[in-house]
Amino acid sequence: MFALTTLVAVSFSIGSFRIEESQRPFLYAVLLWIILVFSALSGLSRSFVKEQESGTMDILKLSARPQAVFLGKLFFNLSMLGVLELIIVPAFILLMGYKIKFPGCFVAMMVTGGLGLGAGTTLVAAMIAQANARGALFSALSFPLLLPLIITAIKGSERAAYGISAAGWPEVKIAAAYAIIMVTVSLLLFPLIWEE
Amino acid sequence: MGRIKVMIYKILLAIWMNLIIAAVFLYVEPAAGFPGEVSRILFFHVPMAWVATLAFLLSMIASSVYLITRKVSADFLAQSSAELGFLFCFLATVTGSIFAKATWGSFWNWDPRETSIVMLLMIYGAYFVLRSAVPDHEKRRVFAGVYSILAFCTVPFLVFIVPRITSSLHPEDTLNPAGPGMDMKTLIFFLGSLCAYTALFVWMLRLKVRMLRIMDNEQGVKFKI
């Protein structure tokens, strides 16, 4: 819901003709990722808080291995992000008249960017579920972790949309590497948090 | 260390730092290729950045040691080191910004180096926020350790990968672009300054760890009453 509201507000106030042709590649990539990241964060922060609030945390701790819980939460977050991107990205392209030169590269950037978002935040979500001031804490903790990914993703989608050759691939690789590193480290560290 | 040894250490450190500061302003010539006296900031900015890096690395290692052994003293070290690292990182940012104004014409223009140092400040800012948000002692230590390791894994992206994509204006060892790096005199005083700042960091770290230990003891006493 937040995602759609932002998208409508952005496209209503900017439209597809307010921005000059030369400025578009950069600004569109930035806008798209701002919408994606903010709408993703509001959902991602809830993944473990839900368990805590409904009191099912302890049962989960007793009945499942930590790695299984983590992977389950990760896949839930990733599928949520997938659905979010499926709605937002086509709508953004239609509303803003976003022309993409290299669709394959653009799709790959979206997929790896989404993977990175999910991978980088799941562990943080598990931590804030056990702390005070959850909502504010979640964004304070995850922004520094996500910033390298977001910078890369913005660059990558900009290049995929308007680049000279299919030059967005290095960014796709960086985002994929980020996702893999974060998942591996989180898998190793998660049991420490879970068993507290 | 006994009290007298610490005293000697402090006095030597004070003399050493004063000597270095006086020497770099009065004895060493400013490097060629930079306007005016600008290059003297080398003797302050680089050691600060070095100490910040060292402190964050130490903090990360101490956090890992805590997570493995669960010894509280390792967490004291991690926390103190992170706080001091933050201080030196901030100072490096400020001195770097002054240098940027003097040579590139603006205090801030999102050079990759500036981006990565801001990221570091944000990461450790978040680290302190996390520490203050978890009420339980044991849990706070574990979470802080986990977060600092997680954050450390994102640093290579900023330090090595983002600067490759966009070009940087930051001088590397290009203080004399044509010459063989620094001349001998500059190098000696640069290393001297590096040692002085590292020694200063060690002293501050010891103080900070001792302070945390005393505070922790006091809380324990209150608990017992």
Question: What percent of chain B is modeled with pLDDT above 90?
Answer: 11
Q: Cβ B147–A127 below 8 Å, yes or no?
A: yes
- Structure confidence at residue B35 (pLDDT): 64
Complex ipTM, two decimals?
A: 0.79
Which residues of chain B does A123 touch, with a Cβ-Cβ cutoff of 8 Å? 146, 150
Question: In Å, how far is B111's CA from the nearest CA of chain A?
Answer: 13
Q: A52 — contact with chain B (CB < 8 Å)?
A: no
Rg of chain B over all Cα atoms, to the nearest angstrom: 20
Flag whether B10 is in a domain: no
- DSSP symbol at B34: S
pLDDT tens for residues B22-56?
Answer: 887 777 776 666 666 677 777 888 888 889 888 98
Task: Kindly indicate the confidence band of residue B81, based on its pLDDT and cuts at 50, 70 and 90.
Answer: very high
Residue B166 covered by a domain: yes
Minimum CA–CA partner of A170 in chain B: B165
Lowest-pLDDT choice from A58-72, A93-107, B77-91, B201-215: A93-107
- pTM for the model stands at 0.79
Tell me, yes or no, whether B17 lies in a domain. no
**Are the beta carbons of A178 and A149 closer than 8 angstroms?**
yes
Which chain A residues are Cβ-neighbours of B119 within 8 angstroms?
144, 147-148
Encoding tokens for residue B119?
């990221």
Give tens-digit pLDDT for B52-77: 888 988 999 999 999 998 888 899 99
Indicate if the pLDDT at residue A39 is higher than 60: yes
User: Residues B113-124: pLDDT tens digits?
Assistant: 777 788 888 888
**Residue B204 covered by a domain:** yes
Which residues in chain A are contacts of B122 at CB distance < 8 A?
143-144, 147
Work out how many CB contacts closer than 8 A connect A with B: 89
Alpha carbons B100 and B104: distance in angstroms, whole number: 5
DSSP string over A19-39:
S-TTTHHHHHHHHHHHHHHHH
Q: A181 to chain B: nearest residue by CA?
A: B153
| B137 part of a folded domain | yes
Question: Is A60 within 8 Å of A69 (Cβ atoms)?
Answer: yes
pLDDT score of A16: 60
Q: Residue B66 has what pLDDT?
A: 92
* Interchain CB contact of B133 with A (< 8 Å): yes
Domain that holds residue B81: 39-171+181-216
| Residue A151 forms contact with B (CB below 8 Å) | yes
- Could you tell me the pLDDT band of residue B152, with boundaries at 50, 70 and 90? confident
Residue at B13 is within a domain:
no
Q: Which of B130, B135, B150 sits opposite A185 (nearest CB)?
A: B150
Q: What average pLDDT does the segment B129-152 reach?
A: 86
What pLDDT sits at residue B164? 58
